[in-house]
Structure 1
Amino acid sequence: MLYTIENDKLCVQVRDHGAELRSIKEREDETEYLWNGDPTWWRYSSPVLFPIVGKLKDNKYRVNGKTYELPSHGLGRISDFQLVEKEADRIAFSLRWTEESLKRYPWKFELQVAYELHGKQVKVIWTVRNHDDHEMIYSIGAHGAYRCPIVHGEEFSDCYLEFNHEEDAPNMPLNKEGQYLRTHGTKPLKGTRLPLCYEEFKDDVLAYHNLKSDKVTLRSTKSSKSLSVIAKDFPYWGFWTPGQGGAPFICLEPWHGHADYEDFDGDFADREGSEHLAAGEEAVFSYTIEIG
């Protein structure tokens, strides 16, 4: 089911499947900023990645000697959430463990996803709760796909990403199976601007660790429309559009966690970037989407 929240600046739609944003529209001129999920290119628009980010090696992982399987990006984006709160400018959904989920992810968890409107900002709030009697291991991340170009008639190559700090960071390269290599890639991020061209994404996502920037803005050289993702204290960022080129969107993805390294063969708790949550505790993460 699709739900709407709005204020005098924005009209936002969210569906209960995946607790996923499906539209961010500016009320002033009806400009749409979010990719619509057309499966011709990619059937998602802004999935929540939980309890893994990226792809496990062979889609498998071990906990206390037992092997489990999860699809890429985990359970969040393929699950139906329950509506738990609805106001004019705020909405929240919850996903809780079930006997079936324990067969794929062996923790009694709850993931609450909330959206709040503040002027031209959409604040996204994730609350992870551990309802089990032992430490829980997980990753969580965003995968928002934003229209690129934002303005009809422009080209993808007219656009660029702007960073709020000078960067000098190597990218994390992937192999063909979606696992990271323990080496620096050939596409470092330097300065405050990343011009967009499809060729840069032919080898999949551009991923970076420990960027100085906590604000990434999608801009165009031909118009003033822009969109920013503001994500403080996220150790990883990914930028992605389908590698074959031609897709009219770019994903801006702050993450806590990442896909397995190609040589990783340890326990789930030993995966780089994973979060650890004590029994009975909760952790809250948030980021903001800002219309320029």
Structure 2
Amino acid sequence: MVTIQNAYLKIEIDEMGAEIQSIQDLTSGYEFLWQADPQFWKRKAPILFPIVGRLQDDQYLYDGKFYSMNRHGFARDCEFTVQNHTEQSASFYLKNNETTYQIYPFEFSLQVNYVLYDHKLTVTFEVYNPSLEKPLYYSVGYHPAFNLEHTIGRNYPEFNQVSYSLKPEGYYYLQQTNQEGLLNNDKAKYMEVIDQKLYHKQFKNDALIYQISEKAEFILRNQANDVEIKFRSIGFDYTALWSTYPKRAPFLAVEAWSGLPDVANEPQLFKDKRGIHCLNPQSICTHDLTIELHKKNKA
């Protein structure tokens, strides 16, 4: 386990999946991060690579051959190597090996950097294509879940005093998935996202996926716990929201996606997959996310 901290936050990161295990407010002792109750969801903040979401029939076609891969890829189940560790930063990397090559026939290097500054955690993903001649096709995402309170409403389970918004204010393109986690084009629409209240029934068909502009800010407000969390991203085209349904788990996953699930009933070539990135040989691409966390301390 690797620990980084400053005067405000303490963060613990496991080498397995380079996954954060705890984000603690040092003043109040409050735990921001969902603590992985297995009866609801066993993960906390997995890294998504080399796909985001689910593939049609959990497989894809590349260079005339079908490959099988589970939802969100394999990086979250791989042990990363610690590359650097200071008091307020840590970096990890994962490279292709014989096992990954069986399901993902590409050379790659994925480096994940965590840096603490003030009340902010910056997470940077550096994807490198070491091949001398072959392009690298990939998607990358980040899937942290945060503790929330919830109550039971009259007609459906309801989160307690939780709302979210997107800035700059305006209408954002909302894409939704079906119950299998594949994109449902029939449900796509534009939606104004200003202080939207959160309801469990919104996740009946899995995730809500907002297409965002460069440097857009997503704000999660949890008045019950006096918590506000802000997300700013560069190199991520989507923000996804998800919680379990019909089980009523008291968490919300706020996900940064650079990629998308497959469209329902439209299998396609991996290189033509919606949201896929093509990285030329000997090239690198960076995706940045800053999470700002505040816990108001009651007198």
Q: What is the TM-score when the length of structure 1 is the normalising length?
A: 0.92
**1:173-222 superposed Cα distances (whole Å, 9 cap, x missing partner):** 32232211222347x53242220111111121111224587211221344
1:13 match: 12
2:165 match: 162
Instruction: Note if contact 2:15-2:81 (Cα within 8 Å) is conserved in structure 1.
Output: yes
Instruction: Note if contact 1:201-1:240 (Cα within 8 Å) is conserved in structure 2.
Output: yes
Task: State the alpha-carbon separation in 2 of the partners of residues 106 and 167 from structure 1.
Answer: 41
Shift of 1:233: 4.2
Instruction: Note if contact 2:148-2:225 (Cα within 8 Å) is conserved in structure 1.
Output: no
Instruction: Note if contact 1:33-1:227 (Cα within 8 Å) is conserved in structure 2.
Output: no
Shift of 1:78: 0.9
Shift of 1:27: 0.8
Distance 1:176 1:219, change over 3 A: closer
1:214 match: 216
Q: Secondary structure at the match of 1:173?
A: strand
2:80 match: 81
Unaligned runs of 5+ in 2: 151-157, 295-299
Most deviating of 158-167 and 277-286? 158-167
Shift of 1:169: 3.0
Most deviating of 111-120 and 209-218? 209-218
Shift of 1:127: 0.7
2:54 match: 55
Instruction: Note if contact 2:172-2:193 (Cα within 8 Å) is conserved in structure 1.
Output: no
Letter in 1 for 2:239: W
Distance 1:165 1:192, change over 3 A: farther
Question: Whose strand proportion is higher, 1 or 2?
Answer: 2
Distance 1:223 1:98, change over 3 A: closer
Task: State the alpha-carbon separation in 1 of the partners of residues 143 and 213 from structure 2.
Answer: 17
Q: Secondary structure at the match of 1:254?
A: strand
Unaligned runs of 5+ in 1: none
Instruction: Note if contact 1:167-1:212 (Cα within 8 Å) is conserved in structure 2.
Output: no
RMSD of aligned Cα (Å): 1.8
Most deviating of 6-15 and 263-272? 263-272
2:182 match: 179
Distance 1:236 1:131, change over 3 A: same
Letter in 2 for 1:281: S
**1:227-275 superposed Cα distances (whole Å, 9 cap, x missing partner):** 1121134211210000114211101111110100113232100011111
1:240 match: 242
Q: Secondary structure at the match of 2:227?
A: coil
Distance 1:90 1:212, change over 3 A: closer
Identity of aligned residues (%): 29
Instruction: Note if contact 2:128-2:284 (Cα within 8 Å) is conserved in structure 1.
Output: yes
Most deviating of 211-220 and 53-62? 211-220
Task: State the alpha-carbon separation in 2 of the partners of residues 56 and 192 from structure 1.
Answer: 32
Instruction: Note if contact 2:164-2:219 (Cα within 8 Å) is conserved in structure 1.
Output: yes
Task: State the alpha-carbon separation in 2 of the partners of residues 94 and 177 from structure 1.
Answer: 31
1:286 match: 288
**1:39-72 superposed Cα distances (whole Å, 9 cap, x missing partner):** 1211111111000000000111111111111110
Q: Secondary structure at the match of 1:216?
A: strand
Q: Secondary structure at the match of 1:157?
A: strand
Q: Secondary structure at the match of 1:251?
A: strand
Task: State the alpha-carbon separation in 1 of the partners of residues 27 and 193 from structure 2.
Answer: 33
Letter in 1 for 2:84: E
Task: State the alpha-carbon separation in 1 of the partners of residues 137 and 280 from structure 2.
Answer: 9
**1:58-110 superposed Cα distances (whole Å, 9 cap, x missing partner):** 11111111111111000111111111111111111111100121110000111
